[in-house]
Amino acid sequence: MSQNLARLAQRIDFSQGSGSEEEEAAGAEGDAQDWAGAGSSADQDDEEGLVKFQPSLWPWDSVRNNLRSALTEMCVLYDVLSIVRDKKFMTLDPVSQDALPPKQNPQTLQLISKKKSLAGAAQILLKGAERLTKSVTENQENKLQRDFNSELLRLRQHWKLRKVGDKILGDLSYRSAGSLFPHHGTFEVIKNTDIDLDKKIPEDYCPLDVQIPSDLEGSAYIKVSIQKQAPDIGDLGTVNLFKRPLPKSKPGSPHWQTKLEAAQNVLLCKEIFAQLSREAVQIKSQIPHIVVKNQIISQPFPSLQLLISLCHSSNDKKSQKSATEKQSPEDHLYVLEHNLHLLIREFHKQTLSSIMMPHPASAPFGHKRMRLSGPQAFDKNEINSLQSSEGLLEKIIKQAKHIFLRSRTAATIDSLASRIEDPQIQAHWSNINDVYESSVKVLITSQGYEQICKSIQLQLNIGVEQIRVVHRDGRVITLSHQEQELQDFLLSQMSQHQVHAVQQLAKVMGWQVLSFSNHVGLGPIESIGNASAITVASPSGDYAISVRNGPESGSKIMVQFPRNQCKDLPKSDVLQDSKWNHLRGPFREVQWNKMEGRNFVYKMELLMSALSPCLL
Amino acid sequence: MGVTCVSQMPVAEGKSVQQTVELLTRKLEMLGAEKQGTFCVDCETYHTAASTLGSQGQAGKLMYVLHNSEYPLSCFALFENGPWLIADTNFDVLMVKLKGFFQSAKASKIETRGTRYQYCDFLVKVGTVTMGPSARGISVEVEYGPCVVASDCWSLLLEFLQSFLGSHTPGAPSVFGNRHDAVYGPADTMIQYMELFNKIRKQQQVPVAGIR
């Protein structure tokens, strides 16, 4: 019976169909339970045998496995169904059959999907916009209350800053521009924390403050002045503290900018003065320069003093009170001060220029010819000629000398022009000058006769210590700086002009020049220059005019009359014939001051025309 | 740079080096030369290092590095009978770097120091040649400034030398040699000095007796 049952059970296929499965499962369940107890002991013994003899030894094994899996599945199904019945955690949802036709379906879906995505994007944008508006309103609120960092950024645009530890230091020296001055020139940037948040923030509040080195505080300038009279020795050492009003800073520039610029200017003035005083001590000159406290005194010309002083006034209230002295504006040579600044900047540039940068890069620094002096074995003379010899002080003194000489020359010419009316002196100064040289053209003319009498034209080249005069006739005369020399020279030229004018006038009037001399050796000796003389004869030969003109003695005019017009001539037996009475005889002086006429040449013209009878 | 003649003045009999130098300088001053400071010419010797000689075993070449106070910014490097070089003073530093190729013979550093006299166009330098602490001889250098061609002014130089050196006047220097018409340069002066120093170095024994 058992064998038959086994055979039948083997034929059962538990995987076919649900209906048959359920039936067989129900039936097999019961059988399995009965046989479970009986078969379990046989299981352990026959496990190995089962592996080898699976189909024959224990035929219920596959049945049991199948049944077991069926049981598991049934249990799961039961659990699911029980949960679904509760409808708490799982529901059964029918698939709706009445769906829309396939054509309209994607469009609506697209629309819905687009709408959703747009809404999402709009949401992001709105959030961003909200954030931006918030920050803008914040900025507007904080505009007055400037941020330390933004101020620091502004500072960085103008000045070099670096961070050392936890301090921010800046550099206001000219070292990066080529200066060799040993001052450190560092300033410190500090945060301005003394602000009372409760009170209203002041207009010029700045969260940033700069602390400049104490010796650069206040303002400074270099004063160059020329004084005629030498001050007493006791006056040396007076410290000039004329406070010049601070140069107006650009409106809108923050207060640290003005502060730093003022400090930089003080540093530059100090450098200029240090350089000048160093040279004043080192350079040997005939009259030594005196360096006292903040003044350098030198004598470019005798009885003339050049004062260069460094005027540094700090911003204390004390010094403001004391600096009430009025400074005379003529005293201050602004041009030279400006030139000092330019010269020191030029010196800075020289240390950085490409002339100094060597090609090839391995050669030492210095001027190109100096680099070549080694390989080309220059001796000492050649090396000395290469090195630039003039320092800042020498240059400034030369410039001051030139300025002084030029102004004195102008004053001399002007005083002469205003003092003497006949002949007239004109000065045409040239516009283009050099720091060491200027030129002026001086013309001596007579009023009304400029075209005729233009033989005296002088070109004056005013140098550093001398004036070189080039005459129209080619003579070159060198005058020293003494103003008396120039004055004497011009006076002598004026007297020569009168005689030259007579010569030219004679040509026009038809009179003949009998003799002419620029420097007569007869008559009284002049102290300035020489007298000149001319004798001219009338066209008919009847009369002759003789003129002698000297710078000091003035002009003397004599007219020679024919013999028959002179009444007081002694009769003599020498003259046999009466025709000899037509010759010219004695001279008679003309009272020149009683002559009519505006100036000498006019008077001379009148005289000449009076003496040449017109033939009607 | 004019034509220069460098010669050696032998030490007078029975006198020391210093006394002979004094004799010479007194003669010059009587002539009318004016003293114009001091001068110094020194010479260092280098030989090419053994490592660069190769397996042929040839003798190393000697290189002389000279300085002259007349050309303060220059340095002269010479090979005997060979090429010469004028460089700036960085050359000394370069020699230190080339220690591997050129070894200096410190013991043979030789120099001459003395006074410089100017007599119109002539520049006369009388110096004591010393090697270490001992004086070895006397060097006399005469330069005629205006001329740079040796053949043109050698006779003038000779006459001038005769006037104060007397019988110890040298013959024409070997640098004038074949190139009579070539322009004279500072390197030729240094070659003459080098030859003078070599000669003095070889005559080591004689002047030592003279000093005592």
pLDDT tens by residue, A332-354: 777 778 888 888 888 787 777 65
> A217 is in which domain, residue-wise?
151-230+253-314+332-350
> B35 is in which domain, residue-wise?
1-50+59-202
User: Is the residue at B103 inside a domain?
Assistant: yes
Angle between helices A392-419 and A334-352 (to 10 degrees): 150
B1, A377: Cβ pair inside 8 Å?
A: yes
Contact A394, A298 (CB under 8 A): no
B86, A373: Cβ pair inside 8 Å?
A: no
* Structure tokens belonging to residue B7: 């010669």
CA distance A470 to A474: 6
**Which residues in chain B are closer than 8 Å to A371, comparing Cβ atoms?**
88
User: Is the residue at A12 inside a domain?
Assistant: no
Mean pLDDT (chain A, rounded): 80
Contact A555, A498 (CB under 8 A): yes
Pick the range with the lowest mean pLDDT from A355-364, B4-13, B85-94: A355-364
The answer on pLDDT for B47 being more than 90 is no
User: Is the residue at A363 inside a domain?
Assistant: no
CA–CA min distance A392, chain B (Å): 27
Question: In this structure, what are the phi and psi dihedrals at residue A381, rounded to the nearest 5 degrees?
Answer: -60, -45
User: Is the residue at A33 inside a domain?
Assistant: no
- Residues with Cβ within 8 Å of A55's Cβ and at least 6 positions away in sequence, in order, are A10
User: Is the residue at A407 inside a domain?
Assistant: no
Interface check for B87 against chain A (CB to CB < 8 A): the answer is: yes
As a whole number of angstroms, the longest Cα–Cα distance in chain A is: 218
- Nearest partner of A10 among A68, A66, A60, judged by Cα: A60
Residue range A19-40: mean pLDDT, rounded: 48
Contact A222, A337 (CB under 8 A): yes
Query: Which of A365, A373, A378, A379 to mutate to test binding with chain B, by most B CBs within 10 Å of its CB?
Result: A379
CA distance A314 to A171: 21
Residue of B nearest to A362 (CA): B90
A380, B70: Cβ pair inside 8 Å?
A: yes
Interface check for B75 against chain A (CB to CB < 8 A): the answer is: yes
The whole-number pLDDT of residue A504 equals: 94
Contact B114, B39 (CB under 8 A): yes
Q: How far is CA A373 from CA A367, A438, A519, B75, B161, in A?
A: 10, 37, 57, 11, 31
**Which residues in chain A are closer than 8 Å to B87, comparing Cβ atoms?**
374-375
User: Is the residue at A103 inside a domain?
Assistant: no
- Residues with Cβ within 8 Å of A512's Cβ and at least 6 positions away in sequence, in order, are A506, A536, A537, A539
CA distance A327 to A442: 35
The answer on pLDDT for A303 being more than 80 is no
The answer on pLDDT for B135 being more than 60 is yes
Tens-place pLDDT, residues A560-601: 988 888 777 777 778 788 888 888 888 999 999 999 889 999
| Residue among B71, B76, B187 minimizing CB distance to A378 | B71
The whole-number pLDDT of residue A357 equals: 66
The whole-number pLDDT of residue B140 equals: 92
User: Is the residue at B210 inside a domain?
Assistant: no
| Residue among B1, B89, B185 minimizing CB distance to A374 | B89
Number of domains in chain A: 2
* Neighbour-count burial of A524, counting CB atoms closer than 10 A to its CB (0-12 exposed, 13-18 middle, 19+ buried): exposed
CA distance A526 to B54: 96
The whole-number pLDDT of residue B125 equals: 92
**Which residues in chain A are closer than 8 Å to B71, comparing Cβ atoms?**
377-379
Q: What's the sign of the alpha-carbon dihedral A284, A288, A292, A294?
A: negative
* Neighbour-count burial of A274, counting CB atoms closer than 10 A to its CB (0-12 exposed, 13-18 middle, 19+ buried): middle
CA distance B112 to B201: 13
Band of residue A517 on the pLDDT scale cut at 50, 70, 90: very high
Q: Please give the DSSP secondary-structure letter assigned to residue A88.
A: S
Interface check for A367 against chain B (CB to CB < 8 A): the answer is: no
User: Is the residue at A141 inside a domain?
Assistant: no
* Structure tokens belonging to residue A562: 């024919």
User: Is the residue at B209 inside a domain?
Assistant: no
Q: What percent of chain A has pLDDT over 90?
A: 29
* Count of alpha carbons within 13 angstroms of residue A174, beta-carbon side: 25
The answer on pLDDT for B59 being more than 80 is no
Band of residue A531 on the pLDDT scale cut at 50, 70, 90: very high
Q: With a CB-CB cutoff of 8 Å, which residues 171-190 of chain B face chain A?
A: 185-187
CA distance A468 to A508: 33
B70, A383: Cβ pair inside 8 Å?
A: no
Tens-place pLDDT, residues A240-256: 555 555 555 566 677 88
Select the more confidently predicted residue: A134 or A353.
A134
Band of residue A198 on the pLDDT scale cut at 50, 70, 90: low
**Which residues in chain A are closer than 8 Å to B76, comparing Cβ atoms?**
377
**Which residues in chain A are closer than 8 Å to B72, comparing Cβ atoms?**
380, 383
Q: What percent of chain A has pLDDT over 70?
A: 79
Pick the range with the lowest mean pLDDT from A141-145, A233-237, A277-281, A438-442: A233-237
CA distance A121 to A65: 59
Torsion of CA B159, B161, B162, B163, to 10 degrees: 90
Q: What is the edge-to-edge ordering of all strands in the sheet holding A186-191? A: A160-164, A167-171, A186-191, A208-211
Secondary structure (3-state) at B151 = helix
The CATH number of the domain holding residue B27 is 2.40.320
User: Is the residue at B159 inside a domain?
Assistant: yes
CA distance A351 to A421: 56
Mean pLDDT (chain B, rounded): 84
B70, A379: Cβ pair inside 8 Å?
A: yes
Q: Please give the DSSP secondary-structure letter assigned to residue A364.
A: P
Beta-carbon contacts below 8 Å between A and B: 39
**Which residues in chain A are closer than 8 Å to B73, comparing Cβ atoms?**
370, 373-374, 378, 383
The whole-number pLDDT of residue A342 equals: 83
Interface check for A375 against chain B (CB to CB < 8 A): the answer is: yes
Contact B84, B190 (CB under 8 A): yes
A375, B72: Cβ pair inside 8 Å?
A: no
pTM greater than 0.80: no
Angle at A179 between CA A173 and CA A180, to 5 degrees: 105
The whole-number pLDDT of residue A44 equals: 47
Residue range A259-276: mean pLDDT, rounded: 88
Q: Please give the DSSP secondary-structure letter assigned to residue A525.
A: P
B74, A380: Cβ pair inside 8 Å?
A: no
User: Is the residue at B112 inside a domain?
Assistant: yes
B86, A377: Cβ pair inside 8 Å?
A: yes
Interface check for A11 against chain B (CB to CB < 8 A): the answer is: no
Q: Please give the DSSP secondary-structure letter assigned to residue A594.
A: G
The answer on pLDDT for A23 being more than 60 is no
- Nearest partner of A542 among A502, A590, A582, A587, judged by Cα: A582
Q: Could you tell me if residue A252 is left (phi over 0), alpha (psi between -120 and 50 degrees) or otherwise beta?
A: left
Pairing of strands B84-88, A305-313: unpaired
Predicted ipTM beyond 0.85: no
The whole-number pLDDT of residue A322 equals: 43
| Residue among A370, A371, A377 minimizing CB distance to B71 | A377
CA–CA min distance B173, chain A (Å): 21
User: Is the residue at A356 inside a domain?
Assistant: no
Select the more confidently predicted residue: A193 or B103.
B103
Angle between helices A148-158 and A255-282 (to 10 degrees): 30
- Across-strand partners of A402? none
Secondary structure (3-state) at A13 = coil
The whole-number pLDDT of residue A477 equals: 93
* Neighbour-count burial of A142, counting CB atoms closer than 10 A to its CB (0-12 exposed, 13-18 middle, 19+ buried): exposed
B70, A376: Cβ pair inside 8 Å?
A: no
- Cis, bond preceding B133 (omega within 30 deg of 0): no
B74, A364: Cβ pair inside 8 Å?
A: no
Pick the range with the lowest mean pLDDT from A124-128, A157-161, B59-63: B59-63
- Nearest partner of B74 among A387, A382, A359, A378, judged by Cα: A378
Number of domains in chain B: 1
Instruction: Determine which helix (DSSP H) or strand (DSSP E) holds A115, and give its type and residue range.
Output: helix A104-142
A294, A322, A350 — which closes off a domain?
A350
Tens-place pLDDT, residues B159-172: 988 888 888 888 88
Question: In this structure, what are the phi and psi dihedrals at residue A355, rounded to the nearest 5 degrees?
Answer: -65, -35
Residue range A235-242: mean pLDDT, rounded: 50
| Residue among A375, A379, A380 minimizing CB distance to B88 | A375
Catalogue the E-assigned strands of A219-258: 219-227
Residue range B118-125: mean pLDDT, rounded: 90
A377, B187: Cβ pair inside 8 Å?
A: yes
Band of residue A36 on the pLDDT scale cut at 50, 70, 90: very low
